[in-house]
A and B are shown apart, each in its own frame.
Chain A
Amino acid sequence: MTKKVAIVAVAQTKYEENYYRQSELVYQCVEKVLDETGLTFQEGKGIDSAVTASDDFWDARTISDTPIGDVVGAHYRTEEKVAQDGAQAAFYAYMEILSGHSDIVLVTAHCKESQPISRNIITNAGFDPYFQRSLGLDHLVAAALQAKRYMQTYGITREQCAKAVVKSHKNGKNNPYVTKARNVTVEDVLDSKMLASPISELDIHPVTDGACALIIAEEEKAKKITDNLVWIKGASDCYDAFYLGDRDLANCDSLVSAAKRAYEMAGIKNPSKEIDVAEISTRYSYQEPLWTEGLGFCGRGEGGKLLDEGITEMGGEIPVNPSGGVLVGCPYITAGLARVVEIALQLRGDAGARQVSGAKVGLAHGTSGPCGQLHCVLILGK
């Protein structure tokens, strides 16, 4: 019998460019979850270990978690770093509890996109130096190549993708942690500067800094911490090939696999009917229709229709990104864990003006690597 594991506390910073150090940003969140739970790092009684997500290139130093240890209770204690999206950190922390190694784990993620001279220069370094990097590839180029292939294969239009941007800005206005939401129309998106066809400036997530944190615990200990528990019902991840040309870019089969395993674990047979709310990591607008297809909310090539028909709007059958999501600003690394935080808030009924009423089952998604190489899916439930 698999152990039951619950999220007992969550916190996040505002997502905006700021002058804080990385460790200060993380501590702002750690302080909140410690206050909320009353937990300490006392051995055997408090938080057993920490899993932190950060990246050496984004922080421009090797072993980017070295300054983080002190703010996550790792002095003479344990801490593990995940050098990719923060949803993976939640997944690892979950496995750490399932394995019996720990009972209560603190999970954090941080990134400051505003500190490198550009985000592209960081993501260019992620391409192999033999065949790709010197050509000038970066995540934006990779995303544009995927967008073109996907949109042409299924007849997805720029207007449909722009609707994801409009929805994100509209929803983001209800989220006090979002600072970049404004009145954006489909025309604004289409008219914004074309950077890498078919992706224009407003199709891309704005530059922000931020951090988030959560605490997860096994059932017995979790119940002693709070009555308002959010259970992790299922989790999985899946990689696609590294080289773009090895992949079928019109589809996201690694997301299909990650979702399938997470659904099986959570006993979900019909995701579009059984999931009440989803927070997915869409750095570029075309990723909203594509990822919703991968998650099985609709069939292949039908992601644009979900946006046209308002199915993923607030008040629709399956609201996607009530927080505004990544398209209104949530940095790399942090993005996926912030999706988990948002779903936890939704299921606790603590999502304020962005609350999806009566949400009982939610999905959080994170992604790493160029145009969705790695996907991680977590299913949460009351």
Chain B
Amino acid sequence: MSREEHNKWAYSIPGKLALNYIYYLGDFNTKFFTELRDNKRILGVKCPKCNRVYMPPRSVCGRCLSKLDEWVELSDKGTLLSYTVVNYSEPYQPTAPPIVYGIIKLDGADTGFTHLLSEVDAEKLRIGMRVQAVFKDKREANIQDIKYFKPI
């Protein structure tokens, strides 16, 4: 039975959970976002044991459980590991579709991180493409201080 048919006779209650909440970044990522906002620097963190440089940074290596505190400055340029063009619209999306997402491995990092791509012809997207971060002029210490990545 379709929802339309049910709605002819089945009662329902409209629900809305408005969950206002403050997510603290913690000591560790406060440093990351401070550098991003004030100096347009993207920092990774290096594991002393397995030598992997993580981006996004985190305080514990998920692989070997080492405590991580060696910050490494990463390039604002990187390589595209994957991408998708999104053609649907949702209230939580930062812009109207089409929205291009990519997994970008910044030079100096061993892991990729997911962000937006723009100034790009969807037909020309390819894995391995070189991209560069475009920063917002007015930065607020959040991940969208990087506006998007564009091809170089």
Contact = CB atoms under 8 A, between A and B. Distances in A.
B144 A134 contact: yes
B82 A145 contact: yes
A129 B142 CA distance: 10
Given A131-B56, A148-B83, A245 B62 contact: no
- A contact patch SS: mixed
B85 A130 contact: no
Interface string B84-109: 11111011111000010111110000
Contacts, number: 125
Interface size class of B (residues with CB under 8 A): 35 or more
Contacts of B86: 136, 140-141, 144, 195-196
Given A145-B82, A241-B62, A136 B105 contact: no
Contacts of A55: none
Given A145-B114, A152-B82, A195-B87, 20 more contacts: A16-B1, A19-B1, A19-B6, A60-B15, A130-B25, A131-B114, A131-B143, A132-B143, A140-B86, A141-B84, A144-B84, A146-B82, A194-B87, A195-B88, A196-B88, A197-B85, A241-B62, A244-B112, A245-B112, A249-B103
A241 to B, nearest CB: 6
A120 B93 CA distance: 11
B12 to A, nearest CB: 7
A114 interface: yes
A85 interface: no
Interface size class of A (residues with CB under 8 A): 35 or more
A18 B23 CA distance: 36
Interface string B125-144: 00100000000000000111
Nearest to A145: B82
Interface in B43-89: 54-56, 62, 81-88
Interface of B: 1-3, 6, 10, 12, 15, 17, 23, 25, 29, 54-56, 62, 81-88, 90-94, 99, 101-105, 111-116, 127, 142-144
Given A18-B6, A19-B10, A149-B81, A132 B114 contact: yes
Contact of A136 (B1, B17, B93): B93
Contacts of B143: 130-132, 134-135
